[in-house]
Chains A and B, each alone.
Chain A
């Protein structure tokens, strides 16, 4: 399922080496002891351009934290992150800004990830405005209308507010927002987990269509193993902050090596098949 748009280069688009993320946790009542929680422990992986990498694990395994660490939404501990050959970890905030245009994200909760006071037009155009693209309002509106059409929403929805849309429609708006800065890499942080099965199917198809058309690379974080198998070329399995197994989804699912992967796969309820 490697996209035919854009050649698959030799060096990976994203390379993470020995990444660790720690959080400080204070324990105790009056006398506080500081404990360090290792959310992510020495994680290394590579993602090639145009492919989809799945990241599965239970709650608390650290999968969302990796996505956030790449975007600098979580404190970086040790390790390095290379994107397009450049190292991200040592950069100052203003030097990192151009990368925020190239790496976008779609969050899990379609209700919490949009500002309820802004119109859809403002929400989708926000990345355009932030990355200082020199365009006037009319040009921005055209781009927003294009994007909304691409995600399957009518162009006149740009004058409405988030509360007027359903969960699946809001997630489409978030996808349009992520696409507005023409990114190369999108982190999908459990973006279909909060949706109904029928809507999930539509959003998954939409994401695949976008990848086929624009050659975008995805890091698809999820806990639903069936969707990861459907969407992803390769997958990483995380347990308690560490990667326990990784590889192409076919071999990972058919012959899992690690006991934890086995456990995850056997816990998935068997879906009925129509006779």
Chain B
């Protein structure tokens, strides 16, 4: 293990000091490390992403809002974790906190620990984070219309990702066409010169997936990828993601409030309610025998095909607060 990496852990990180403390490395004795240094994995299990006690605070004129209140979860290589919850539960904020996509301090304070393959994520510098964002962790967002730049062709936008993260690729155009083909877009050479407004919602979402895949990321974060899409297009996108997951052995974090796709697509599930994870576990057991009343209420209030009740049961928040 190189000395430089060790000093970086000791000097600048909060990994074993209290988080948020900046200590210059002259004052810390490099060779008297305390316990708890997280060195690159040698003997550990293949835990790709390890998040511990993540907290996100937003400061505004109306006060402080703790969007995420100390959650812990992990993602193993090749597995899919679904983070489920309502609007405002903190699920999108959690995923964006990992790669500093939230507003900078002091408006937004992120604390806690997050390790990607043993390396701490929350203490990286801006340039180091740029290398992680896209290359190690890539995102697909909910609204493909607003996530694509309307001024550039889709091919241009995919090429941008390739040129930044994969400088070894010589024929970028060929790679763009190959990616569009991989995500199931017909006549990829013709579609690559289209602008986003010339495409349907489903196609735009496929382009987003192509941009995310362009850098061959370790983790794909899909933030409500099918909420804005119809049921048949949703099925196609989910099948595409399943296919890509199988071929590329990608790990996926799926953020959604649609239990149907969680059932079909995810291995593990974490249910969030008002900034905390209330239940977590393998999908089959959590969905068939939910333990927490919130999970039970959420599953019950979804109308199911074939089951016709007079009134839909609703979530009783007052009861859950207790």
Contact = CB atoms under 8 A, between A and B. Distances in A.
A198 B298 contact: yes
A268 B260 contact: yes
Nearest to B264: A269
Interface string A39-74: 000000000000000000011100000000000000
B261 to A, nearest CB: 5
A35 B74 CA distance: 54
A59 B233 CA distance: 10
Interface in A249-274: 253, 263-265, 267-274
Chain B interface mostly helix, strand, loop or mixed? loop
A198 B314 contact: yes
A56 B231 CA distance: 11
Interface in B209-259: 229-235, 238, 257-259
B147 interface: no
A229 B232 contact: no
B199 interface: no
A270 B264 contact: yes
A198 B298 CA distance: 7
Contacts of A198: 86, 297-298, 301, 314-315
A274 B258 CA distance: 15
A19 to B, nearest CB: 23
Contacts of A201: 301-303, 312-315
B280 to A, nearest CB: 16
Interface stretch (B95-103, B150-158, B163-171, B287-295): B287-295
Interface string B74-91: 000000000000111000
A211 B178 CA distance: 53
Contact of A264 (B232, B301, B313): B232
Interface residues of B, number: 42
Interface residues of A, number: 35
B278 to A, nearest CB: 14
Max chain B CB contacts within 10 Å: which of A166, A167, A263, A269? A269
Contacts of A264: 231-232
A272 B287 contact: yes
Given A198-B86, A274-B288, A58 B232 contact: yes
Contacts of A5: none
A51 to B, nearest CB: 16
A253 B306 contact: yes
B230 A268 contact: no
Interface string A178-209: 00000000000000000011111110110010
Contact of A273 (B86, B232, B261, B304): B304
A230 interface: yes
Contacts of B296: 274
A205 B303 CA distance: 11
A153 interface: no
A160 B239 CA distance: 45
A150 interface: no
Given A201-B314, A264-B232, A269 B260 contact: yes
B311 interface: yes
B232 A225 contact: no
Q: Which 4 A-B pairs have the closest CB atoms?
A: A269-B260, A272-B287, A201-B312, A201-B301
Interface of A: 58-60, 166-167, 196-202, 204-205, 208, 223-227, 229-230, 253, 263-265, 267-275
Interface of B: 86-88, 200-201, 229-235, 238, 257-261, 263-264, 287-290, 296-306, 308-309, 311-315
